[in-house]
Amino acid sequence: MADTQSVVSDVKLFLERLKKEMPEIFGTQEKSTQTDDASVAPVAANKVLYNGDLFEARTYVTPDQEEGVSFDGKIFHVYLQSEQSDPSALVTQWLRDKAAEVLPQKTKDWAEKIGVEYNRVVLKDQRTLWASCSSQKNINYSYRIIKMPLVVQDYLVIHELCHLKFMNHGEEYWSLVGQFSPDYKLHRRWLNEHKDAVFEDVHITLTKDNTEAAEEK
């Protein structure tokens, strides 16, 4: 079966193993000095996690305007046809579209630098797996990667592409990853600390105040 052969990378599984293999990057509860950011609350309602930052989302009911999302660099403006529209679905689609735009390009760029060839990039809605690399040389990503800081996105791309040279997590493999992502241990820690927020679904509710402001009543 292709399935049993194909999965050479499972970020979630390796993170679980990581605690045993590399305890130094996790610390222990007794000795933890990272009390301020060691635990991360789930993303609050009407906040959007994107490129590692939390942004405010504002909703507007604008029946004359096409539904959609506009991000101005600070705020996600969500334009809805009616109060029955689903702002969470619109923002989720925006994130998916952004992932479809960004991740294939990142993969192409890093593959050239690392000197590997892949078949194609496949975006999935994986809730427990960030990325994987198949024996057919397909690179699979969860679109949710787009929520991570850019350096962590890069690390995940590099992680998968390096599996095209080493289909394991051995010393040679990590040495190659380290050449292109020198701070990969920090990125792995970020992933472990923020996985709940990354996998959490977007939750946007209609905010009455903004609706009224947008309609200039």
Please, what is the minimum distance in Å from the beta carbon of residue 51 to Zn ion?
23
Give me the sheet containing 47-50, strands edge to edge: 47-50, 53-61, 75-80, 68-71
Q: Does 132 bind Zn ion (CB under 5 A)?
A: no
Say which amino acid occupies 38.
Answer: A
Residue 9 or 153: the one with the smaller Cβ distance to Zn ion is 9
**Residue the block writes with tokens 């635990």:** 39
Taking CB under 5 A as the binding criterion, the range among 1-9, 40-48, 91-99, 176-184 that sits at the site for Zn ion is: 1-9
Residue 117 C-beta: closest distance to Zn ion, Å: 18
Q: Which of residues 3-42 bind Zn ion (CB under 5 A)?
A: 9
Closest CB 159 distance from Zn ion, rounded Å = 5
Secondary structure (H, E, C), 99-134: HHHHHHHHHHHHHHHHCCCCCCEEEECCCCCCEEEC
Which position has the token pair 């905010």?
207
Q: Which residues bind Zn ion (CB under 5 A)?
A: 9
